[in-house]
């Protein structure tokens, strides 16, 4: 990054950061100062990389953990006078969305095609009440006054009618892969925070410590290690989609897939011991692994693109055009690229959508998240 500050969106910020790291101290594997590996691509704004770091470590940041998941959170919000207004249905795969506005494929084409136009598509055959029909893989059909869809951006074109968005996603987003491995010790005195004397986040509060490890690209499995609480750590790795093999995120995913969890955990602990100097660090008592395939995480918007992120976000948020009652929101499509990868982005899109949803439902009160 420091060799290409002139190509960065925030040249001054990049230069300021790099002044802390004179060239002779820069290690070849230190791809980003934040621990998020973004490759050599000069497509991501510095603010997005460093903004993430600030977001999660600053004193002012608020981190909300929902023990029961968003589904229960939404149900709680809708719970009024002893009745829940939200009826969750599990394990239903949505395969098509239709409205009275016309053929969904045509509508999506027109809205996707509007990205370079000054306004969105307002195409709709029937502009009065236009109910939405949701078709599920098991044959069930449900109708609703409107629909708010939340799949990851690249999952939307998998639903019939939304195909036109795939090419736009490929053009304007930065597909990344991500891996999280959570390791836990039942005895806090044996866990990494106590053994390194570093400050974990949940038990000690913000700001807290985390490790950014360097090593030989190709062998290095660990990069960004969060000290979650006094018994738990989380290895969080990202890698750009166009570097399929070398980054820690890719290596760890491959290892877990081809060699299994025992070998993966052994290798992680071995590299933790070397990286921290705690040569007798105890093996953890449990580990959980989650891999997001390429394209799940879309870090920031592409820099220097001919359409700005706010426009892409707002057009994508009405994927069948602004006259069809179909809404979309997800962290990875948030107008502010620094919110990609953070629940704040998903909430921000929901908040913006309420501006049209509330009047359409005949509700006029101010609701903001």
Ligand X SMILES: Cc1cc2nc3c(=O)[nH]c(=O)nc-3n(C[C@H](O)[C@H](O)[C@H](O)COP(=O)(O)OP(=O)(O)OC[C@H]3O[C@@H](n4cnc5c(N)ncnc54)[C@H](O)[C@@H]3O)c2cc1C
Residues within the interface to ligand X (CB under 6 A)? 70, 93-94, 150-152, 155, 159, 178, 292, 296-297, 330-331, 341-343, 346
Beta carbon nearer to ligand X, 155 or 229: 155
DSSP letter string, 255-322: HHHHH-HHHHHHHHHHHHHHHHS-TTPPPPSEEEEEEEEEEEEEEEEPTT-SS-HHHHHHHHTSTT-T
Residue 201 CA, chain-centre distance (Å), reads: 20
Cβ-contact 160, 106 below 8 angstroms = no
Closest distance of CB 217 from ligand X, Å: 22
Shortest Å, Cβ 40 to ligand X: 21
Task: Please say which residue, 5 or 353, places its beta carbon nearer to ligand X.
Answer: 353
Distances (CA, A) of 282 to 100, 188, 209, 212: 62, 11, 20, 20
User: Minimal CA–CA distance to 166: which of 158, 175, 157?
Assistant: 157
Residue (101 or 249) nearer to ligand X, CB:
249
130: which 2 tokens? 């236009």
Q: How far is the CB of 137 from ligand X (least distance, A)?
A: 8
In DSSP terms, 298 is beta-bridged to 175
Q: Which is nearer to ligand X, 245 or 293 (CB)?
A: 293
Minimum CB separation of residue 71 from ligand X in Å reads 8
Q: Are 123 and 110 in contact (CB under 8 A)?
A: yes
In the bound complex, what is the minimum distance in angstroms from residue 348's beta carbon to ligand X? 10
- Residue number with CB closer to ligand X (172 or 228): 228
**Least distance to ligand X, CB of residue 154, Å:** 10
Work out the angle at residue 239's Cα, subtended by the Cα atoms of residues 237 and 240, and round it to the nearest 5 degrees.
155
Residue nearer to ligand X on the CB measure, 224 or 330? 330
């Amino acid at each position: 990054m420091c060799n290409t500050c002139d190509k960065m969106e925030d040249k001054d910020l990049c230069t300021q950061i790099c002044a802390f790291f004179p060239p002779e101290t820069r290690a070849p594997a230190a791809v980003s100062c934040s621990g998020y590996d973004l490759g050599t691509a000069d497509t991501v704004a510095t603010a997005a990389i460093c903004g993430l770091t600030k977001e999660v470590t600053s004193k002012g940041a608020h981190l909300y953990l929902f023990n029961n998941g968003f589904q229960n959170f939404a149900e709680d919000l809708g719970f009024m006078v002893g009745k829940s207004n939200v009826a969750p249905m599990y394990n239903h795969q949505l395969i098509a969305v239709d409205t009275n506005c016309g053929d969904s494929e045509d509508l999506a084409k027109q809205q996707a095609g509007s990205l370079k136009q000054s306004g969105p598509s307002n195409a709709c055959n029937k502009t009065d009440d236009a109910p939405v029909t949701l078709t599920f893989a098991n044959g069930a059909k449900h109708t609703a006054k409107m629909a708010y869809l939340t799949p990851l951006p690249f999952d939307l074109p998998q639903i019939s009618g939304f195909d036109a968005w795939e090419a736009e996603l490929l053009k304007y987003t930065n597909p990344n892969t991500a891996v999280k491995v959570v390791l836990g010790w039942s005895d806090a005195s044996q866990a990494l925070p106590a053994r390194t004397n570093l400050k974990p986040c949940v038990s000690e509060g913000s700001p807290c410590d985390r490790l950014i490890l360097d090593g030989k690209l190709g062998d290095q499995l660990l990069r960004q290690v969060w000290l979650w609480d006094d018994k738990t750590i989380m290895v969080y790795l990202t890698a750009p989609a166009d570097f399929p093999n070398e980054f820690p995120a890719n290596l760890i995913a491959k290892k877990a897939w081809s060699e299994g969890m025992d070998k993966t955990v052994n290798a992680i602990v071995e590299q933790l011991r070397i990286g921290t100097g705690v040569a007798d660090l105890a093996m953890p008592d449990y580990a959980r692994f989650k891999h997001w395939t390429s394209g799940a995480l879309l870090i920031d918007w592409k820099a220097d693109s001919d359409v700005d992120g706010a426009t892409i976000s707002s057009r994508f948020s009405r994927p069948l055009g602004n006259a069809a009652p179909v809404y979309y929101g997800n962290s990875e499509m948030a107008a502010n690229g620094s919110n990609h990868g953070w629940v704040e982005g998903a909430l921000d899109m929901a908040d913006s959508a309420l501006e049209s949803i509330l009047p359409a439902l005949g509700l006029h009160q101010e609701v903001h998240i």
